[in-house]
Amino acid sequence: MSPGIQVPLSYRLRPALRRAMVLAGGLLLAFGMLSAVPVAAQTRVKDLVTFDGVRRNQLVGYGLVVGLNGTGDRLINTPFTEQSLKGMMERLGINTRGETLRTRNAAAVMVTASLPPFPRQGTTVDVTVSALGDATSLLGGTLVVTPLLGADGEAYAVAQGPLSVSGFTAGGAAATVTKGVPTTARIANGATVERELKFALNDVGAVRMALRNPDFTTAIRIADAVNGRLGTGNARVVDLTTVDVRITGSYVGNVSRLIGEIEQLAVRPDAVARVVVDERSGTIVIGDDVRVSRVAITQGNLTVRVVETPQVSQPQPFSNGSTVVVPRTDVQVQEGNGRQFVTVGGNVSLQQLVNGLNALGVGPRDMVAILQAIKAAGALHADLEII
């Protein structure tokens, strides 16, 4: 390069520009990695609460199933089935008084259904049919007209139709095979609604939400989300279970739209740290917020084995002795290998806590005893629920 030639400024600054571009690229990469960190999962309000008045109602009825292939109730053992048959026959104009029925093709059943919110007359719902007597199977049966009653004793639907049974029973004189539960059946769209529930949603002055999992923090977050949508002061927390929303403005007389918009709001639910233990199956469920103070744990196994090997003592030939049984008992006591203490706990994540518990190398049932011991030591900062 000759001394008389001027070097462009951009060329002289090129190394600095390159360093700046590398630094900017690194910052962008760092910000990209930060943005890739998953945030706390949010849940729709729709999945966290139920709305007052928008609920299902249980219906129940007593009926008869006919058309069974000899698998119904034995009338000698179930007098209520015989009385129901005679009553049905008399309503149809057939006199059966003084007669003895000997059929095995009918069964007394309980019919249950769930009435959806705001049912309209003529809509249909599914029903479940369950045998009440000693019928062995409802396969092939048909439910006779059965009124379904609510908690107030009024009939809200009428059920009838052929049964759909998923289980079966087959067998002979020496063996029987049963799959599923053949004494329970369903009828799809088997009940027709005849009476409507008298509840006008648009006449209410406020919408009340009930949390499925009561929690003060979750209730406050729901109220804040609703106020952010509708304006401050429209939603208030009554208690850890209830949040009230006033109906104002364009939502007066249009409550369904208000509920629909509230349902789509997303909040992050909170819950009490809890460990659930099922001792019967050895199942353990640990919540994400469970923390254990730093503790040292060891667990040993003690095995006692008793073996009985009785022996027969025979007398010598031509002696006056008798044959006796001499007991022989072998008792063995084996203590498990002395495990070293394993440190578990501290301000760690759920995965680290699980890894620490797994390092003990014990089964689920022994883990139940360990968790109970940690709770007794005051190191388990969570509710221990045993079911």
What pLDDT shows up at residue 100?
78
- State the average pLDDT for the chain: 80
Strand bridging mode 291-297 / 342-346:
antiparallel
What amino acid occupies position 48? L
Q: Per mean pLDDT, which range of 30-34, 252-256, 278-282 is the poorest?
A: 30-34
Q: Provide mean pLDDT across the span 19-31.
A: 42
Given this model, what pLDDT does residue 282 score?
74
Q: Rounded CA gap, 218 and 45, in Å? A: 10
Those residues whose C-beta lies under 8 Å from the C-beta of residue 67, and which sit 6 or more positions away, are 105, 140, 141, 142
In this predicted model, what pLDDT tens digit does every residue of 161-197 receive, in sequence order?
999 988 777 766 667 777 788 999 999 999 999 998 8
Predicted pLDDT at 336: 59
Indicate if the pLDDT at residue 62 is higher than 50. Answer: yes
Q: Cβ neighbours of residue 374 under 8 Å, at least 6 residues apart? A: 292, 295, 297, 344, 380
Higher pLDDT: 7 or 59? It is 59
Cα(23)–Cα(94) distance, integer angstroms = 97
Reported as half-sphere exposure (CB side, CA atoms, 13 A), residue 194 has a value of 14
Contact 340, 296 (CB under 8 A): no
**pLDDT tens-digit readout, 228-248:** 988 888 899 999 999 999 998
- Region label for 52, one of left (φ > 0), alpha (ψ between -120 and 50) or beta (otherwise): beta
pLDDT at 67: 93
The number of beta carbons lying within 10 Å of the beta carbon of residue 243 is 26
Lowest average pLDDT, out of 87-96, 174-183, 212-221, goes to 174-183
List all residues 6 or more positions away from 386 whose beta carbon is below 8 Å from its beta carbon: 277, 278, 279, 368
Residues 251-274 have a mean pLDDT of: 90
Output the pLDDT for position 309: 78
The percentage of the chain sitting over the pLDDT mark of 90, rounded to a whole number, equals: 33
C-alpha–C-alpha distance, residues 78 and 75, integer Å? 5
Is residue 9 pLDDT above 50, yes or no?
no
pLDDT tens by residue, 307-338: 777 887 777 777 777 788 888 777 776 655 55
Q: Which two tokens stand for residue 94?
A: 């057939």
For residues 275 and 383, the answer to whether their CB atoms sit within 8 Å is yes
